[in-house]
Homo-oligomer: A and B are copies of this chain.
Amino acid sequence: MNPLNGYDYEDLQLGMSESFVKTITETDIELFATASGDNNAVHLDEEFAKTTPFGGRVAHGMLTASVISAAIASRLPGPGSIYLGQNLRFKAPVRPGETVQVTVTVTDLHPEKQRVALSTVCTVQDRVVIEGDALILPTSAKRRKQ
């Protein structure tokens, strides 16, 4: 582990997995709209959203995806990780008040550059809402000693 209590590259093994859970509230959606600049009415206006194919307000897909960032930064590999890439496939909407579980699992280790690939799956109850994978540069005990 590194001094921030995150995993070093040397600690990681194929199949290691961690989860992070967050409830997406109406307030979270409003904060995200301000932070991102995405004020689309399908996220913010229930009366309008009822007229769309979603039938009501939904969270921004990128807000749900942002919980992946929290899972990586706080759980696996944890603090000190540098985010290099993320692929996202949006499968189903998330509604205000729903609880997203993000599960990140080590799927590949690249020793030459000390990078790790993770599968990143977001579910609400048993429904997959986002599938994807991440590429991360964790901290490294070896680099710290150089």
B62 touches A65 (CB 8 A): yes
When chains A and B are docked, how far (Å) is the Cα of A60 from the Cα of B90?
20
Complex alpha-carbon distance, A60 and B83, angstroms: 9
Number of copies: 2
Contact B31 A34 (CB under 8 A): yes
A61: nearest chain-B partner, CB-CB: B83
Which stretch from A9-17, A67-75, A104-112 is at the chain B interface?
A: A67-75
Give Cα A36 to B84, complex, Å. Answer: 18
Contact A38:B70 (CB < 8 A) given known A32-B32, A65-B62: yes
Asked whether, in the complex, the Cβ of A90 is within 8 Å of the Cβ of B85, the reply is: yes
Number of interface residues of A (CB under 8 A): 40
A79 within 8 Å of B (CB atoms):
yes
A141 contact set on B, CB distance < 8 A: none
Residue among A35, A82, A83, A90 with max Cβ neighbours from chain B (10 Å) = A35
Footprint of B on A, CB under 8 Å?
4, 20, 22, 28-29, 31-32, 34-41, 52-53, 60-63, 65-70, 73-74, 79-80, 82-90
A sample of 22 cross-chain residue pairs with beta-carbon separation below 8 angstroms, ordered by A number, consists of A4-B41, A20-B37, A22-B36, A22-B37, A28-B34, A31-B31, A31-B35, A32-B35, A36-B66, A36-B69, A37-B70, A38-B70, A60-B66, A60-B69, A62-B62, A62-B68, A62-B69, A62-B86, A65-B86, A83-B90, A84-B89, A86-B88
